[in-house]
Amino acid sequence: MTAVSLSKRQAGLATWLIIVLILVVAALIGVGSVAGLYYSGYLGGNQAATAVAADASATEDSVSAPRKPPIYLPLEPALVVNFNRRGRVGYLQAGLQLMAREQSVIDAAQANLPMIRNSLLILLSTQSYEELSSRESMERLRQKTLDEVNSVLDRVDAPGHIEAVYFTAFVMQ
Q: What is the pLDDT of residue 38?
A: 66
Spell out where 55-147 has E strands: 71-85, 88-100
Half-sphere CA count of 144, side-chain side, radius 13 A: 17
Distance between CA atoms of 47 and 20, rounded to whole angstroms?
37
- pLDDT computed for residue 161 by the predictor: 95
Quick one: pLDDT at residue 35? 67
Q: Domain residues of the chain, as ranges?
A: 3-64, 71-172
Which pTM value belongs to this model?
Answer: 0.60
- Residue 124 and residue 94 in contact, taking contact as beta carbons nearer than 8 Å: yes
3-state DSSP assignment of residue 27: helix
Per-residue pLDDT of the chain (173 residues; tens, 9 = 90+): 555 565 777 777 888 888 888 888 777 787 777 666 666 666 654 454 445 455 555 555 555 678 899 999 999 999 999 887 777 888 999 999 999 999 999 999 999 999 999 999 999 988 888 778 888 989 999 999 999 999 999 999 999 999 999 999 999 88
Q: How large is the greatest C-alpha to C-alpha distance in the chain, in angstroms?
A: 113
Q: Which CATH number fits domain 71-172: 3.30.479, 3.40.1350, 1.10.3470, 3.40.720?
A: 3.30.479
At 46 the pLDDT is: 47
